């Protein structure tokens, strides 16, 4: 009896697996061959984060009007400098960026490890 049930389930599984779904696409009835131009892209945004407890600062701003896109973003680096990237998109040349740094890099003394400073700071 068990063998007959197993054979029946096996044949059923083979039959179900053999069926392939058919996919068809029907064009909507009100579809017309007219082409519609999309409007030019226009946006402007800006955001920033400044967390005094961790000295973490970063932000981004960008504006676009059609093909003209300009923006910048900045981040406070672990060495104390502020890195700023200003960019624009120039048709055939693509993304063009200028990177600048404000401040002077500060490195910890070689005698003191990063972990010991962090444990002293939060401990």
DSSP letter, residue 76: E
The secondary element (H helix, E strand) that includes residue 11 is helix 2-18
| Domain positions in the chain | 42-122
Q: What is the mean pLDDT of residues 100-105?
A: 93
State both tokens at 45.
């945004």
Is the predicted pLDDT of residue 33 greater than 90, yes or no? Answer: no
List, for residues 62-98, the tens digit of each pLDDT value. Answer: 999 888 899 999 999 988 899 999 999 977 778 899 9
Buried b (16+ CB within 10 A) or exposed e, 4-32: eeeeeeeeeeeeeeeeeeeeeeeeeeeee
Residue 39 is predicted with a pLDDT of 73
Residue 71 is predicted with a pLDDT of 97
Q: What is the mean pLDDT of the chain?
A: 78
pTM for the model stands at 0.54
62 in Cβ contact with 45 (< 8 Å)? yes
Residue 61 is predicted with a pLDDT of 97
């Amino acid at each position: 009896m068990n063998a007959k049930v197993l054979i029946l389930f096996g044949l059923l599984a083979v039959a179900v697996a053999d069926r392939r779904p058919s996919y068809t696409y029907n064009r909507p009835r009100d579809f017309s061959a007219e082409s519609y131009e999309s409007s030019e892209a226009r946006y402007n945004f800006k955001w920033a984060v400044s967390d005094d407890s961790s000295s973490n600062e970063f932000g981004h701003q960008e504006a676009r009007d059609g093909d003209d896109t300009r923006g910048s973003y900045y981040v406070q680096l672990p060495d104390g400098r502020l890195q700023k990237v200003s960019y624009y998109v120039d048709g055939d040349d693509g993304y063009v960026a200028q990177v600048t740094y404000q401040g002077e890099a500060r490195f910890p003394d070689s005698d003191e490890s990063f972990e010991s400073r962090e444990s002293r700071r939060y401990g």
